[in-house]
Structure 1
């Protein structure tokens, strides 16, 4: 499981004395634990790896937004810290589809669903997320779907 891999990497980083990496891995594990607590009240079940990947994707998105804000504000030291954390987070995410692959997936789903206009965007997005959610940045995919349906 992905959770176990992250824990093992944390132990290796601690043994190697890599403090920035240990800190980033601790952030990841803390966020996963928060998500576990959050999901206790929800219906039990579900795929643990899917939950961990979803959590990592959210953390990555937050880091990218923070990097942009810090760089715009001239806070390069904070942006560098966020970049380091983002690099560690991205190590555990599945390989992301490239733009061409994403466009091909969108076109296949459009053909299957018979989607022709922007009104069908919700159907296309939900099917895209169901099939490729772990491999896509959904905000970028959304822009591509909108462009394809326009």
Structure 2
């Protein structure tokens, strides 16, 4: 079953269970997926769906930070609940050691010699690690590894 089909089935289950919080979050996700399909005239595969979910997760994390800084814990709690539902659709995250191993393998594969080759390394890592690692942290790891080279 594709991720898109799984999300649709989960939406139906949430409707049957009358779980309004879960249903609302899944509806936001399906709306974002439909918007992408209409805007770009494409049929979404799992990779594109994961990209949408990753974007929504990042938005929720940013919102939580802003709400907590503004003293609005009630709104931060709502965002945290949505974040938990969205992260359930993400693949298992890689550990720091696994990310470092992938970075080392990508550097070896490209023959990167310094910071000027960061784009080549990231081009290999991005499709491999998308949704499984924080790309900001991956970028920092690549930068640090290339600075040593």
TM-score under structure 1 normalisation? 0.91
Gaps of 5+ in 2: none
- Establish whether residue 15 from structure 1 lines up as the match of residue 16 from structure 2: yes
Q: What is the TM-score of this pair, normalised by structure 2? A: 0.92
**CA offsets, 1:26-81, max 9 Å, x none?**
111111111111211xxx57x61111011101111111111111111111111111
| 1:136 and 2:126 aligned | no
Question: How much is the aligned-residue C-alpha RMSD, in angstroms?
Answer: 1.4
Q: How far, CA to CA, are the matches of 1:53 and 1:105 in structure 2?
A: 20
Map Cα deviations across residues 89-138 of structure 1 (whole Å, 9 max, x no partner): 11111112111110110011111111131111111111101222232221
Q: How many residues align?
A: 146
Partner of 2:40: 39
Aligned counterpart, 1:87: 84
Question: What does 1:1-150 align with in structure 2 at a 5 Å threshold?
Answer: 1-40=2-41, 48-150=45-147
Moved over 6 A (4+): none
Query: What secondary structure sits across from 2:118 in the alignment?
Result: helix
